[in-house]
Amino acid sequence: RSSDLKHPAPKAKMVHWTAEEKAAIHSVWKQVDVEKDGQETLSRVLITYPWTQRYFSSFGDLSNAAAICNNPKVKAHGKKVLAALGGAAQHLDNIKSTLAHLSELHADTLHVDPENFKLLGQCLVIVLARKLGAAFTPEVHGAWEKFVAVSCAALSKHYN
């Protein structure tokens, strides 16, 4: 009977992380200062890619690099963003559902072009590379690029 030939429910496609990649992501994350590194990451986005300032018109003075680096709303928001990524780092096997609510928020309410997620990812990796120096080996770099790419994809999922 056809019901006997029912196909099993398709497994959700999971990102495969090697043990080394997981170790690299976790060991770097241990050294992250969510407040300081979050502030620096978001500041760099707003300074290096000035068009992104359009999303933060309620943040007050973003008129030059010094204003951005000292802006308390940028600091608070940078911390929030990096904490959310930290959540994803703690749930590497489930990044999609960990970031699902944020994907909805950015798509449906904030209307953020998902290209911007990659810009933040680039700045985050630069902040980490500056912080870790030689410890940011190409293998560690590779693991973090993958983490950033998977997180960006998860954040973009809710967009049509």
Partner 1 sequence: MVHLSADECKDVSAVFSKVNVDQLGGESLASLLIVYPWTRRHFKTFGNLSSTDAILHNAKVQAHGAKVLGAVRDALKHVANLGGHFAHLSDLHCQQLFVDPANFKLFAGIVSIRVGQTMRQAYTPHVQASFEKFLDAVTDALAKGYH
Q: Candidates 9-17, 82-90, 98-106, 138-146 — which segment interacts with partner 1 by CB under 8 A?
A: 138-146
Q: Does 92 bind partner 1 (CB under 8 A)?
A: no
Q: Does 69 bind partner 1 (CB under 8 A)?
A: yes
Cα separation of 32 and 147, whole Å? 15
Instruction: Indicate which single residue of 125, 153, 157, 158 sits in contact with partner 1 (rule: CB under 8 A).
Output: 125
Nearer to partner 1, 69 or 76 (CB): 69
Q: Candidates 22-30, 53-61, 102-110, 123-131 — which segment interacts with partner 1 by CB under 8 A?
A: 123-131
Nearer to partner 1, 136 or 159 (CB): 136
Query: Cβ neighbours of residue 96 under 8 Å, at least 6 residues apart?
Result: 12, 154, 157
Cα separation of 118 and 15, whole Å? 18
Q: Does 39 bind partner 1 (CB under 8 A)?
A: no
Q: Tell me which residues touch partner 1 (CB under 8 A).
A: 40, 43-44, 47-48, 65, 68-69, 122-123, 125-127, 129-130, 132-134, 136, 138-139, 141-142, 145
